[in-house]
Chain A
Amino acid sequence: MAEKQNKVLLEVDHLTKYFNTPRGPLHAVDGVSFTIEEGKTLGIVGESGCGKSTTGRTIIKLLEPTGGKILFEGQDITGYSRSRMRKLRTEMTMIFQDPFSSLDPRQSVMQLISEPIREHHLLHGKEAIARRTLELMDIVGLARRFVNSYPHELDGGRRQRIGIARALAVNPKLVVCDEPVSALDVSIQAQILNLLKQLQKDIGLTYIFITHDLSVVKYFSDDIAVMYLGQMVEKANSDELFARPLHPYTQALLSAIPIPVVGGDKKPRKLIRGEITSPVNLPDQCRFLKRCDECQKQCESAKNPELREMTPGHFVACHCVN
């Protein structure tokens, strides 16, 4: 039996987003390309300042892209105006990192969850909206008794469930999750991750999962893209990336994760030198150059490496990988 070919939901082609600063353009996102099939998850990982959140926000056009193309279900939405995007806002939503600052403290849970429904006129009549709100609370596992509570009365895990319910309220196809569990304790983190995964199974959601936590991303994603200074340096299937990381940065990133195991054979740490450099006024050469141990003479004179497909589906941007 031939493997079922899934429909491509989102295609991003050489997306760039620059911010103008007094010292020159800041390359937040610099030529990022990928596609996501319906019902799949793409994980985007990298350190703070690598442009992963900006990528997420630019894709759903909370930020205007500087260049490149965004195709959502085949239509080019790159140039869509705000009012045209408004209709699409029911198709693509976002879950934010901080459940403390992303919720209006003066709205009750009922108001918060029903806001997107009212805003997009998805349902009419107070009763229908209230029924749907309670239903959403059931879906995200938030007890109905909290319907009249305010965010400050709830803990982080429950607040994040409100954020998820708000994202689901419009029946989206694509959800951009920007560090959805980073602010939560591990035991609560597991509850939220299980919920997101269950929702994907039940309603076939497509996720872009942005995180700095590599163990979370591996658990969650089908494909993983590693970003460094606005560019994608490696992209592969999740298992493949963890089994055979090719880019020196990915290798260092993986080896930096503290592993909760005592005793046994542990590989020695591969520390990377220095810190992420400034994304302003970048020269046309490998951006990881100054921190790289593999770095050879050719890298210094060569241009910024392009993504190359090494094995089927495994892309890497490095001059030293053969």
Chain B
Amino acid sequence: MSDNILEIKDLVVHFETDDGVVHAINGLDISIPREKTLGLVGETGAGKTTTALSVLNLVPNPPGKIKSGSILLDGKDVLQMSDSELEAMRGNDVAMIFQDPMTALNPVMTIGDQIAESIELHQHISAKESFEKAKELLKMVGIAENRAYDYPHQFSGGMRQRAVIAIALACEPKLLLADEPTTALDVTIQAQVLTLMKDLIDRRHMSMLLITHDLGVVAETCDDVAVMYAGRIVEIGTADEVFNATRHPYTEGLFNSLPNLHERGEELIPIKGLMPDPMDLPQGCAFAPRCSYATEACTKAVPELRTMGGTHYVACSAYDNPSFCLRRNANG
């Protein structure tokens, strides 16, 4: 058995639309060790959600097409599975939590029934037993049992997301895909939900892929971090490596854009320009047009991930020059 619960190798996903081909994911490699949490960070349109959907083989087709690559879940390739194998895998082995808990829940079904539904479907036990189990799950996520008879509109945003977590954990999956699980919530509720998720994952020895744009959330919850840009991983390593020994200019740019809680008033350093159109990606490194370190060489070839020592990898050709160093690191 492999040490990694999830191994994605050289994944390419295109959306073939009438206007042209959207290059959503262009050769993605990530792996998540057992019982670890990987944070996947990037801006809107970087391909984070498509990555998660690919793991479940749920990329909408058409227009989406998984062109090549392999996704090994517990050693088995998701992309080679039959429909019935996929059905057995979804929910049982892998579960997903979506960003917006209101649209993820069925408005005309009670919360208890919705949780029970997935238990009944996957574990083949009676409706009554599943409903009892659903109540237990609600208690586990901090909601009183009698609320199982309520409908989603009677729940607040934070409670809805707790209910969604209960559904996701109902069949004790090995891997949880969480797509911006707390983005729609207030900070105080976000703190509660993140603490709950971390606790449940630790206790059940699960692994998690946490998709977020919030570097703060990553720092609080993740063991490893992967930074994604235009469908590729540009930097990956342990949280300590990526946060404290940042290597990629894009990652540096993300940190510089954040308002600093400790020093006020100084001007923020935004990343100039915009994310490239995934229908018309630039030649070479996709970040080169926005990069303040870019040289001509950057526009020629797509940089490969290279090791910076240990588990820290970066895709930037500036490191061809052994003395290259980001400004963030140069000043200590």
Contact = CB atoms under 8 A, between A and B. Distances in A.
A binds B: yes
Interface of A: 47-48, 155-157, 185-191, 193-194, 197, 212, 214-216, 218-220, 238-239, 242, 252-253, 255-263, 269, 271-272, 275-276
B189 interface: yes
B215 interface: yes
Interface in B168-222: 186-192, 194-195, 213-220
Interface in B230-245: 239-240, 242-244
Contacts of A255: 191
B240 A190 contact: no
B147 to A, nearest CB: 13
A257 B216 contact: yes
A256 B187 contact: yes
Given A188-B274, A269-B195, A271-B188, 15 more contacts: A185-B43, A186-B258, A187-B271, A188-B270, A190-B268, A193-B268, A218-B259, A220-B259, A238-B264, A239-B264, A253-B187, A259-B220, A262-B219, A262-B243, A272-B188
B195 A187 contact: no
Interface residues of B, number: 45
Given A260-B216, A260-B219, A193 B187 contact: no
B217 A258 contact: yes
Contacts of B218: 260
9 contacts: A185-B43, A186-B258, A188-B274, A193-B268, A256-B187, A258-B187, A258-B220, A271-B188, A275-B189
B195 A271 contact: yes
Contacts of A218: 259, 261, 264
B93 to A, nearest CB: 29
A262 B194 CA distance: 16
A185 B190 contact: no
A258 B216 contact: yes
A269 B199 CA distance: 14
Contact of A271 (B192, B257, B259): B192
A219 B264 contact: yes
A214 B215 CA distance: 15
Given A219-B260, A219-B268, A259-B216, A187 B253 contact: yes
B186 A212 contact: yes
A257 B187 contact: yes
A-B pairs with lowest CB-CB distance, top 3: A258-B216, A190-B270, A219-B259
Contact of B188 (A191, A256, A260, A261): A256
A12 B259 CA distance: 29
Nearest to A191: B270
Given A187-B257, A260-B255, A261-B219, A157 B274 contact: yes
- For A185, A218, A259, A263, the residue with the greatest tally of chain B CB atoms inside 10 Å of its CB is A185
A219 B191 contact: no
A190 B257 contact: yes
Contacts of B265: 219
A252 B188 contact: yes
Nearest to B241: A262
B267 interface: yes
Nearest to B215: A260
Nearest to A273: B192
Interface centre among B43, B156, B264 (most CB of A within 10 A): B264
B158 interface: yes
A215 B256 CA distance: 13
A99 B166 CA distance: 34
B243 A186 contact: no
Nearest to B192: A271
Contacts of B220: 258-259
Nearest to B268: A190
A216 B259 CA distance: 6
A189 B244 CA distance: 23
A187 B216 contact: no
B243 A275 contact: no
B167 to A, nearest CB: 20
Contacts of A155: 274
A19 to B, nearest CB: 19
B38 to A, nearest CB: 14
A272 B22 CA distance: 44
A321 B260 CA distance: 28
Contacts of B261: 214-215, 218, 242, 257, 259
A240 B218 CA distance: 28
A260 to B, nearest CB: 4
B269 A260 contact: no
A181 to B, nearest CB: 10
B188 A47 contact: yes
Contacts of A272: 188, 192
B292 interface: no
A2 B191 CA distance: 45
A272 B255 CA distance: 28
A186 B257 contact: yes
Interface string B31-44: 00000000000011
Contacts of B274: 155, 157, 188
A46 B240 CA distance: 32
B254 interface: yes
A258 B218 CA distance: 8
B24 to A, nearest CB: 17
Given A155-B274, A193-B259, A219-B264, A186 B188 contact: no
A176 to B, nearest CB: 20
A255 B240 CA distance: 21
